Structure 1
Amino acid sequence: MTTPGSDLRVGSRFVIPAGELSERFSRSSGPGGQGVNTTDSRVELSFDVAHSAAVPESLRARLLERLAGRLVDGVLTIAASEHRAQLANREAARARLVMALSEAAAPPPPPRRPTKPTRGSKERRIAAKKRRSDVKKKRRSGFED
Protein backbone atom coordinates (compact mmCIF):
# COMPACT_ATOMS: atom_id res chain seq x y z
CA MET A 1 0.00 0.00 0.00
CA THR A 2 1.33 3.44 -0.88
CA THR A 3 1.39 6.21 1.64
CA PRO A 4 0.05 9.62 0.66
CA GLY A 5 2.85 11.96 -0.28
CA SER A 6 5.02 9.22 -1.79
CA ASP A 7 5.78 8.47 -5.43
CA LEU A 8 3.43 6.10 -7.28
CA ARG A 9 4.78 3.15 -9.27
CA VAL A 10 2.66 2.27 -12.29
CA GLY A 11 3.65 -1.34 -12.96
CA SER A 12 7.15 -1.56 -14.34
CA ARG A 13 6.42 1.20 -16.82
CA PHE A 14 7.03 4.44 -14.92
CA VAL A 15 6.93 6.19 -11.56
CA ILE A 16 4.82 9.28 -10.88
CA PRO A 17 6.56 11.72 -8.53
CA ALA A 18 4.37 12.95 -5.67
CA GLY A 19 4.84 16.52 -6.92
CA GLU A 20 2.90 15.78 -10.10
CA LEU A 21 -0.20 14.66 -8.18
CA SER A 22 -2.79 17.17 -7.07
CA GLU A 23 -5.23 16.41 -4.25
CA ARG A 24 -8.42 18.28 -3.37
CA PHE A 25 -10.52 17.55 -0.32
CA SER A 26 -14.23 18.18 0.15
CA ARG A 27 -17.12 17.04 2.27
CA SER A 28 -18.33 13.59 1.46
CA SER A 29 -21.83 12.19 1.46
CA GLY A 30 -22.65 8.83 2.96
CA PRO A 31 -21.89 7.27 6.35
CA GLY A 32 -20.31 9.26 9.15
CA GLY A 33 -23.19 10.74 11.10
CA GLN A 34 -22.62 14.28 12.29
CA GLY A 35 -18.94 14.02 11.38
CA VAL A 36 -19.77 13.93 7.68
CA ASN A 37 -20.97 17.54 7.93
CA THR A 38 -17.64 18.80 9.25
CA THR A 39 -14.93 16.53 7.85
CA ASP A 40 -13.36 16.93 4.42
CA SER A 41 -12.93 13.21 3.78
CA ARG A 42 -13.70 13.09 0.03
CA VAL A 43 -10.55 13.09 -2.11
CA GLU A 44 -10.10 14.16 -5.73
CA LEU A 45 -6.72 13.06 -7.06
CA SER A 46 -5.61 14.66 -10.34
CA PHE A 47 -2.74 13.74 -12.65
CA ASP A 48 -1.83 15.62 -15.84
CA VAL A 49 -1.24 12.78 -18.28
CA ALA A 50 -0.71 15.05 -21.29
CA HIS A 51 2.08 17.17 -19.79
CA SER A 52 3.71 14.90 -17.21
CA ALA A 53 7.47 14.42 -17.44
CA ALA A 54 7.07 11.03 -15.73
CA VAL A 55 5.14 9.47 -18.62
CA PRO A 56 7.46 8.07 -21.30
CA GLU A 57 6.79 9.52 -24.76
CA SER A 58 6.30 6.01 -26.12
CA LEU A 59 3.30 5.53 -23.78
CA ARG A 60 1.80 9.03 -23.78
CA ALA A 61 -0.19 8.62 -27.02
CA ARG A 62 -1.59 5.25 -25.91
CA LEU A 63 -2.61 6.64 -22.50
CA LEU A 64 -4.25 9.70 -24.03
CA GLU A 65 -6.15 7.56 -26.55
CA ARG A 66 -7.37 4.94 -24.08
CA LEU A 67 -8.26 7.42 -21.34
CA ALA A 68 -9.81 9.97 -23.72
CA GLY A 69 -13.29 9.61 -22.22
CA ARG A 70 -12.01 10.27 -18.69
CA LEU A 71 -9.64 13.17 -19.40
CA VAL A 72 -10.44 16.85 -19.15
CA ASP A 73 -7.75 18.92 -20.91
CA GLY A 74 -5.34 16.00 -20.53
CA VAL A 75 -5.91 15.68 -16.78
CA LEU A 76 -7.17 12.43 -15.22
CA THR A 77 -9.18 12.96 -12.02
CA ILE A 78 -10.11 10.15 -9.63
CA ALA A 79 -12.59 10.73 -6.79
CA ALA A 80 -12.83 8.58 -3.68
CA SER A 81 -15.39 9.00 -0.91
CA GLU A 82 -16.30 5.46 0.12
CA HIS A 83 -14.41 5.55 3.43
CA ARG A 84 -15.05 7.71 6.46
CA ALA A 85 -11.36 8.51 6.95
CA GLN A 86 -9.59 10.92 4.63
CA LEU A 87 -6.40 8.86 4.70
CA ALA A 88 -8.27 5.73 3.55
CA ASN A 89 -9.87 7.72 0.71
CA ARG A 90 -6.46 9.08 -0.31
CA GLU A 91 -5.08 5.55 -0.52
CA ALA A 92 -8.15 4.34 -2.44
CA ALA A 93 -7.82 7.19 -4.96
CA ARG A 94 -4.11 6.45 -5.47
CA ALA A 95 -4.81 2.74 -5.96
CA ARG A 96 -7.52 3.55 -8.53
CA LEU A 97 -5.21 5.98 -10.34
CA VAL A 98 -2.49 3.32 -10.60
CA MET A 99 -5.05 0.76 -11.82
CA ALA A 100 -6.46 3.09 -14.49
CA LEU A 101 -2.98 4.06 -15.75
CA SER A 102 -1.65 0.50 -15.78
CA GLU A 103 -4.71 -0.79 -17.68
CA ALA A 104 -4.38 2.01 -20.23
CA ALA A 105 -0.62 1.46 -20.58
CA ALA A 106 -0.98 -2.28 -21.22
CA PRO A 107 0.09 -3.34 -24.70
CA PRO A 108 -2.72 -4.12 -27.12
CA PRO A 109 -3.72 -7.79 -27.38
CA PRO A 110 -2.33 -9.75 -30.33
CA PRO A 111 -4.58 -9.64 -33.39
CA ARG A 112 -7.07 -12.48 -33.66
CA ARG A 113 -6.32 -15.07 -36.30
CA PRO A 114 -9.59 -15.93 -38.02
CA THR A 115 -10.48 -19.64 -37.95
CA LYS A 116 -13.24 -21.69 -39.52
CA PRO A 117 -15.46 -24.10 -37.60
CA THR A 118 -14.46 -27.74 -37.94
CA ARG A 119 -16.60 -30.19 -39.87
CA GLY A 120 -17.52 -31.99 -36.65
CA SER A 121 -18.71 -28.79 -34.96
CA LYS A 122 -20.85 -27.92 -37.99
CA GLU A 123 -22.41 -31.38 -37.96
CA ARG A 124 -23.11 -31.18 -34.19
CA ARG A 125 -24.75 -27.77 -34.64
CA ILE A 126 -26.99 -29.01 -37.48
CA ALA A 127 -27.91 -32.17 -35.50
CA ALA A 128 -28.87 -30.05 -32.47
CA LYS A 129 -31.04 -27.82 -34.66
CA LYS A 130 -32.73 -30.87 -36.15
CA ARG A 131 -33.44 -32.29 -32.65
CA ARG A 132 -34.89 -28.97 -31.53
CA SER A 133 -37.03 -28.78 -34.65
CA ASP A 134 -38.40 -32.29 -33.98
CA VAL A 135 -39.27 -31.35 -30.38
CA LYS A 136 -41.23 -28.32 -31.61
CA LYS A 137 -42.96 -30.34 -34.33
CA LYS A 138 -44.18 -32.86 -31.78
CA ARG A 139 -45.66 -30.11 -29.65
CA ARG A 140 -47.90 -28.88 -32.44
CA SER A 141 -51.52 -29.86 -32.11
CA GLY A 142 -52.73 -32.62 -34.42
CA PHE A 143 -49.28 -34.10 -35.00
CA GLU A 144 -49.43 -37.87 -35.36
CA ASP A 145 -46.25 -39.91 -35.45
Structure 2
Amino acid sequence: MPAELHVRGSVSIPETELAWRFSRSSGPGGQNVNKTSTAAELSYDVAGSPSLPEHYRQRALERLSGRLVRGVLTIRAEEYRSQARNRDAARERLASVLSDAIAPPPKKRVPKKVPRGINERRLENKKRRADVKRARSRRWD
Protein backbone atom coordinates (compact mmCIF):
# COMPACT_ATOMS: atom_id res chain seq x y z
CA MET A 1 0.00 0.00 0.00
CA PRO A 2 1.43 3.45 -0.88
CA ALA A 3 2.84 5.54 1.95
CA GLU A 4 1.00 8.61 0.65
CA LEU A 5 -2.40 9.30 -0.90
CA HIS A 6 -2.03 11.61 -3.90
CA VAL A 7 -4.85 14.17 -3.99
CA ARG A 8 -4.09 16.88 -6.57
CA GLY A 9 -0.96 18.49 -7.98
CA SER A 10 1.66 18.53 -5.25
CA VAL A 11 -0.81 17.75 -2.45
CA SER A 12 -0.44 14.32 -0.86
CA ILE A 13 -1.63 12.95 2.45
CA PRO A 14 0.67 10.65 4.44
CA GLU A 15 -0.80 7.31 5.50
CA THR A 16 -0.19 8.24 9.15
CA GLU A 17 -2.94 10.92 8.98
CA LEU A 18 -5.59 8.41 7.92
CA ALA A 19 -7.58 6.58 10.59
CA TRP A 20 -9.22 3.24 9.73
CA ARG A 21 -12.10 1.36 11.35
CA PHE A 22 -13.50 -1.94 10.17
CA SER A 23 -16.90 -3.44 10.82
CA ARG A 24 -19.23 -6.05 9.46
CA SER A 25 -20.69 -5.19 6.12
CA SER A 26 -24.31 -5.45 5.14
CA GLY A 27 -25.44 -7.01 1.89
CA PRO A 28 -24.41 -10.19 0.06
CA GLY A 29 -21.60 -12.43 1.18
CA GLY A 30 -23.20 -15.54 2.57
CA GLN A 31 -21.81 -16.82 5.85
CA ASN A 32 -18.70 -14.70 5.33
CA VAL A 33 -20.51 -11.51 6.41
CA ASN A 34 -21.27 -13.00 9.82
CA LYS A 35 -17.65 -13.58 10.75
CA THR A 36 -15.43 -11.02 8.98
CA SER A 37 -15.16 -7.26 9.18
CA THR A 38 -15.08 -6.23 5.54
CA ALA A 39 -16.60 -2.72 5.65
CA ALA A 40 -13.91 -0.03 5.78
CA GLU A 41 -14.41 3.39 7.35
CA LEU A 42 -11.72 5.96 6.61
CA SER A 43 -11.46 9.16 8.66
CA TYR A 44 -9.31 12.16 7.78
CA ASP A 45 -8.96 15.26 9.98
CA VAL A 46 -9.21 18.05 7.41
CA ALA A 47 -9.12 20.84 10.01
CA GLY A 48 -6.04 19.56 11.82
CA SER A 49 -4.01 18.20 8.93
CA PRO A 50 -0.48 19.59 8.62
CA SER A 51 -0.10 18.19 5.09
CA LEU A 52 -2.77 20.45 3.56
CA PRO A 53 -1.57 24.00 2.80
CA GLU A 54 -3.62 26.67 4.60
CA HIS A 55 -5.46 28.03 1.54
CA TYR A 56 -6.42 24.49 0.46
CA ARG A 57 -7.54 23.65 4.01
CA GLN A 58 -9.83 26.71 4.16
CA ARG A 59 -11.30 25.91 0.75
CA ALA A 60 -11.90 22.27 1.74
CA LEU A 61 -13.48 23.20 5.09
CA GLU A 62 -15.82 25.61 3.32
CA ARG A 63 -16.84 23.24 0.52
CA LEU A 64 -17.13 20.11 2.68
CA SER A 65 -18.86 21.79 5.63
CA GLY A 66 -21.96 19.60 5.23
CA ARG A 67 -19.93 16.36 5.33
CA LEU A 68 -17.56 17.19 8.18
CA VAL A 69 -18.09 16.33 11.84
CA ARG A 70 -15.82 18.52 14.00
CA GLY A 71 -13.46 18.95 11.05
CA VAL A 72 -13.20 15.21 10.29
CA LEU A 73 -14.23 13.74 6.93
CA THR A 74 -15.40 10.11 7.08
CA ILE A 75 -15.75 7.82 4.06
CA ARG A 76 -17.40 4.39 4.37
CA ALA A 77 -16.90 1.68 1.76
CA GLU A 78 -18.72 -1.64 1.90
CA GLU A 79 -19.52 -2.43 -1.72
CA TYR A 80 -16.98 -5.25 -2.02
CA ARG A 81 -16.77 -8.56 -0.20
CA SER A 82 -13.12 -8.18 0.79
CA GLN A 83 -11.61 -5.72 3.21
CA ALA A 84 -8.68 -4.92 0.92
CA ARG A 85 -10.91 -3.86 -1.98
CA ASN A 86 -13.06 -1.75 0.36
CA ARG A 87 -9.90 -0.07 1.70
CA ASP A 88 -8.83 0.78 -1.84
CA ALA A 89 -12.32 2.07 -2.69
CA ALA A 90 -12.35 4.29 0.42
CA ARG A 91 -8.89 5.69 -0.40
CA GLU A 92 -9.92 6.46 -3.98
CA ARG A 93 -13.15 8.12 -2.83
CA LEU A 94 -11.30 10.24 -0.26
CA ALA A 95 -8.81 11.37 -2.91
CA SER A 96 -11.66 12.24 -5.28
CA VAL A 97 -13.66 14.17 -2.67
CA LEU A 98 -10.62 16.13 -1.49
CA SER A 99 -9.49 16.82 -5.05
CA ASP A 100 -12.88 18.33 -5.88
CA ALA A 101 -12.92 20.29 -2.62
CA ILE A 102 -9.52 21.94 -3.10
CA ALA A 103 -9.92 22.56 -6.84
CA PRO A 104 -9.71 26.22 -7.85
CA PRO A 105 -13.07 27.92 -8.30
CA PRO A 106 -14.38 27.94 -11.88
CA LYS A 107 -13.81 31.07 -13.95
CA LYS A 108 -16.65 33.55 -14.07
CA ARG A 109 -18.72 33.31 -17.22
CA VAL A 110 -18.64 36.52 -19.21
CA PRO A 111 -22.02 36.97 -20.89
CA LYS A 112 -21.70 37.82 -24.56
CA LYS A 113 -24.04 39.97 -26.62
CA VAL A 114 -26.31 37.96 -28.91
CA PRO A 115 -25.25 38.65 -32.53
CA ARG A 116 -27.75 40.69 -34.53
CA GLY A 117 -28.06 38.07 -37.27
CA ILE A 118 -29.10 35.36 -34.82
CA ASN A 119 -31.70 37.63 -33.25
CA GLU A 120 -33.09 38.62 -36.67
CA ARG A 121 -33.28 34.97 -37.75
CA ARG A 122 -35.13 34.06 -34.58
CA LEU A 123 -37.67 36.87 -35.10
CA GLU A 124 -38.09 35.92 -38.77
CA ASN A 125 -38.81 32.30 -37.80
CA LYS A 126 -41.34 33.50 -35.24
CA LYS A 127 -43.09 35.64 -37.86
CA ARG A 128 -43.15 32.80 -40.36
CA ARG A 129 -44.60 30.44 -37.76
CA ALA A 130 -47.23 33.01 -36.74
CA ASP A 131 -48.24 33.49 -40.39
CA VAL A 132 -48.64 29.71 -40.83
CA LYS A 133 -50.86 29.49 -37.76
CA ARG A 134 -52.86 32.57 -38.78
CA ALA A 135 -53.43 31.11 -42.24
CA ARG A 136 -54.70 27.85 -40.75
CA SER A 137 -57.23 29.59 -38.53
CA ARG A 138 -58.63 31.87 -41.30
CA ARG A 139 -59.37 29.01 -43.65
CA TRP A 140 -62.24 27.72 -41.49
CA ASP A 141 -63.99 31.05 -40.85
TM norm structure 1: 0.86
Alpha-carbon offset, residue 60 of structure 1: 1.0
Runs of 4+ more than 6 Å apart? none
Deviations 1:66-87 (A, max 9, x none): 1111111111111111111110
Distance 1:36 1:139 in 2: 70
Q: Does 1:11 align with 2:47?
A: no
Instruction: Give unpaired runs (5+ residues) of structure 2.
Output: none
Distance 1:30 1:121 in 2: 56
TM norm structure 2: 0.88
In the other structure, the counterpart of 2:63 is 66
2:92 to 71, 91, 95: 95
Q: Does 1:114 align with 2:118?
A: no
Instruction: Give unpaired runs (5+ residues) of structure 1.
Output: none
Aligned-residue identity in percent: 56
Alpha carbons of structure 1 residues 30 and 119: separation in structure 2 relative to 1, 3 Å = same
Alpha carbons of structure 1 residues 27 and 133: separation in structure 2 relative to 1, 3 Å = farther
Alpha-carbon offset, residue 93 of structure 1: 0.3
Deviations 1:12-60 (A, max 9, x none): 2322111110111111112211212222111110100001011111211
Alpha-carbon offset, residue 106 of structure 1: 0.9
Count of matched residue positions in the alignment of Structure 1 and Structure 2 = 140
2:139 to 115, 122, 144: 144
Alpha-carbon offset, residue 110 of structure 1: 1.6
